[in-house]
Amino acid sequence: MLKKKCDKNIASTIKLAQQMIQLAQNGDEYREDPGCGVLYGILLDSGYRILDLAQREKQNHMDKGWWNESPCP
């Protein structure tokens, strides 16, 4: 379990970005017009960009020894 609020926020951001990517993929699969394609394309691109940034920041915290996840019991 993460203890630092900054680490919790990064973990939440990673989860949110993954949800954005999943929603974009699902939305694109069932879209019915080009406008939806634009919407889900932007959502997908944004999700991947946010995920990349958040994962880099997580790695920065890990490299500094700040990211401390203890295993769940």
Q: pLDDT tens for residues 18-53?
A: 999 999 999 999 999 999 999 999 999 999 999 999
Is there a domain that residue 54 lies in? yes
Is there a domain that residue 70 lies in? no
Is there a domain that residue 27 lies in? yes
For residue 62, is pLDDT > 50?
A: yes
Q: Which domain holds residue 55?
A: 5-63
Residue with tokens 């946010």: 50
Q: Distance between CA 61 and CA 69 in Å, rounded? A: 12
Of 15, 1, 4, residue with least CA distance to 61: 4
**70 pLDDT tier (thresholds 50, 70, 90):** low
Is there a domain that residue 23 lies in? yes
Is there a domain that residue 29 lies in? yes
Is there a domain that residue 35 lies in? yes
Q: How many domains does the chain have?
A: 1
Is there a domain that residue 38 lies in? yes
Answer whether 0.75 is exceeded by the pTM.
yes
pLDDT, residue 73, reads 39
